[in-house]
Chains A and B, each alone.
Chain A
Amino acid sequence: MSFRKIKERIMLGLIAILALLSAVPIFAIIFSVYFEGMKHVSLSFLIDLPPPPIGDKAGGIGPALAGSLILIALALAIGGTIGFFTGLFLSEFSHTKLAQQTQMILQIMVEFPTIIVGLFAYTVLVLPLKRFNALAGAFALAIVIIPYIALNVKEAYKSISFTLKEAAFSLGLSAPTAYLRVLLGAAKSGVLTALLIGMAKAAGETAPLLFTILGSTFTYFAGLDQPIHAIPLLIYNFALSPYERWHQVAWGASAVLLTIILTIFLVSRMIIRGART
Chain B
Amino acid sequence: MNTDKAFRLSLFFFTISSFIIVASIVVSLIATSYPIFMRDGLSFIIRGAWNPVREDYGILPALLGTLITSAIAIAIALPLSISLAVFSSELIPGKFKIIMNNISDLMASLPSVIYGLWGLFVLAPILHQFVMMPLHTHLGFIPLFSTRPVPTNLFTAGVLLAIMIVPFASSVIREAYSAIPYYLKEAAYSLGMNRWEVIRMMLGYIKSAIFAGTFLALGRAMGETVAVAMVVGNIMRFPKSLFDMGYTISSLIASQFPNAEVYEFMVPALYGGAFMLFIMGLAINLIGFSMMRRMVVHR
> Which B-chain residue is minimally distant from A142 (CB atoms)?
B21
* Residues of chain A within 8 A of B170, CB atoms compared: 22
Query: Contacts A98-B15, A111-B281: A15 and B83 contacting too (C-beta < 8 A)?
Result: yes
Q: Is B151 an interface residue (CB 8 A)?
A: no
* Residues of chain A within 8 A of B74, CB atoms compared: none
User: Restricting to A1-34, which residues have a CB under 8 Å from any CB of B?
Assistant: 4-5, 7-8, 11-12, 14-23, 25-26, 28-29, 32-33
Q: Is A47 an interface residue (CB 8 A)?
A: no
A106 touches B18 (CB 8 A): yes
| Interface 9-mer from A80-88, A160-168, A184-192, A221-229 | A80-88
Given A85, A119, A239, which contacts B230 in the complex, CB threshold below 8 Å?
Answer: A239
B18 touches A235 (CB 8 A): no
Q: Is B4 an interface residue (CB 8 A)?
A: yes
> Which B-chain residue is minimally distant from A14 (CB atoms)?
B83
B194, B281, B289: residue with the most chain A Cβ atoms closer than 10 Å: B194
| Interface 9-mer from B130-138, B140-148, B178-186, B271-279 | B271-279
* Residues of chain B within 8 A of A116, CB atoms compared: 25, 29, 223, 274, 277-278
A143 touches B111 (CB 8 A): no
* Residues of chain B within 8 A of A265, CB atoms compared: 105-106, 109
Given A12, A204, A269, which contacts B110 in the complex, CB threshold below 8 Å?
Answer: A204
A32, A174, A206, A261: residue with the most chain B Cβ atoms closer than 10 Å: A206
The 0/1 profile, CB within 8 Å of B marked 1, for residues 76-94 of chain A is 0000011001101110110
Q: B68 → chain A, closest Cβ, in Å?
A: 17
| Complex Cα spacing A115 to B170, Å | 25
**How many A residues touch the partner, as a band?**
35 or more
Q: Is B197 an interface residue (CB 8 A)?
A: yes
The 0/1 profile, CB within 8 Å of A marked 1, for residues 1-24 of chain B is 001100110111011111101101
| Complex Cα spacing A84 to B117, Å | 33
| Complex Cα spacing A81 to B230, Å | 34
Given B83, B109, B223, B274, which contacts A22 in the complex, CB threshold below 8 Å?
Answer: B83
User: Restricting to B183-201, which residues have a CB under 8 Å from any CB of A?
Assistant: 194-197, 199-200
User: Restricting to A80-130, which residues have a CB under 8 Å from any CB of B?
Assistant: 81-82, 85-86, 88-90, 92-93, 98-99, 101-102, 104-109, 111-117, 119-120, 123-124
Q: Is A156 an interface residue (CB 8 A)?
A: no
User: Restricting to B74-130, which residues have a CB under 8 Å from any CB of A?
Assistant: 79-81, 83-84, 86-88, 91, 100, 102-107, 109-118, 120-122
* Residues of chain B within 8 A of A143, CB atoms compared: 21
A82, A207, A269: residue with the most chain B Cβ atoms closer than 10 Å: A207
B226 touches A211 (CB 8 A): no
Given A23, A89, A93, A124, which contacts B103 in the complex, CB threshold below 8 Å?
Answer: A23
| Interface 9-mer from B45-53, B214-222, B236-244 | B214-222
> Which A-chain residue is minimally distant from B198 (CB atoms)?
A8
A113 touches B18 (CB 8 A): no
* Residues of chain B within 8 A of A20, CB atoms compared: 87
B114 touches A258 (CB 8 A): yes
Given B3, B103, B258, B278, which contacts A26 in the complex, CB threshold below 8 Å?
Answer: B103
Q: Is B69 an interface residue (CB 8 A)?
A: no
Q: Is B163 an interface residue (CB 8 A)?
A: yes
Q: Is B262 an interface residue (CB 8 A)?
A: no
| Complex Cα spacing A137 to B166, Å | 29
Q: Is A245 an interface residue (CB 8 A)?
A: no
Q: A11 → chain B, closest Cβ, in Å?
A: 4
Query: Contacts A14-B83, A105-B19, A120-B25: A235 and B113 contacting too (C-beta < 8 A)?
Result: yes
| Complex Cα spacing A236 to B119, Å | 12
* Residues of chain B within 8 A of A32, CB atoms compared: 118, 121-122
> Which A-chain residue is minimally distant from B280 (CB atoms)?
A113
* Residues of chain A within 8 A of B289, CB atoms compared: 104, 107
| Complex Cα spacing A199 to B107, Å | 16
Q: Is A232 an interface residue (CB 8 A)?
A: yes
B258 touches A261 (CB 8 A): no
B196 touches A239 (CB 8 A): no
Pairs across A and B, CB under 8 Å, 25 listed? A8-B197, A16-B91, A19-B83, A19-B86, A19-B100, A23-B100, A23-B104, A25-B163, A88-B11, A92-B11, A99-B15, A107-B289, A111-B281, A113-B223, A113-B224, A116-B223, A116-B277, A119-B29, A119-B253, A123-B28, A204-B109, A205-B111, A206-B113, A207-B254, A210-B254
Beyond the given pairs A109-B21, A147-B18, 5 more chain A to chain B contacts, judged by CB atoms under 8 angstroms and listed by A's residue number, are A4-B194, A18-B79, A116-B25, A204-B111, A261-B111
Contact surface of A with B, Cβ cutoff 8 Å: 4-5, 7-8, 11-12, 14-23, 25-26, 28-29, 32-33, 36, 81-82, 85-86, 88-90, 92-93, 98-99, 101-102, 104-109, 111-117, 119-120, 123-124, 143, 146-147, 150, 174-176, 179, 197, 200-201, 203-207, 210-211, 232, 235-236, 239-240, 247, 250-251, 254, 257-258, 261-262, 265, 269
